[in-house]
Amino acid sequence: MSIGRLAVFSLGPAALVLVVAAVLVVTVRPGPVVALVIIAVGLVGSVAVMGFVSRRMVDRALAREDAEQAPHADRDA
């Protein structure tokens, strides 16, 4: 798994969370404090989504690598 692929696939959902937060601010037109809270939640949500997606991709890659190495370990024993 390449770092570039990990970056692209984790930034996509994070950008989507930020777009949803921005659209929410534009459509609802809240006061300044509520808008700040919405954007802050959007920022925290985007970081959380990046972490979730990247962690899931790394776990899958490691599981695949372990599965590929497991049959070779049986032959050596």
Prediction pTM value: 0.76
pLDDT at 73: 55
Encoding tokens for residue 41?
């939640």
Domain boundaries, given as residue ranges, for the chain: 3-76
Q: pLDDT tens-digit profile of 8-62?
A: 888 999 999 999 999 999 999 999 999 999 999 999 999 999 999 999 998 988 8
Encoding tokens for residue 21?
């937060």
Q: List C-alpha distances in Å: 77 to 63, 64, 73.
A: 21, 21, 7
For 42, other C-beta atoms within 10 Å of its C-beta total 19
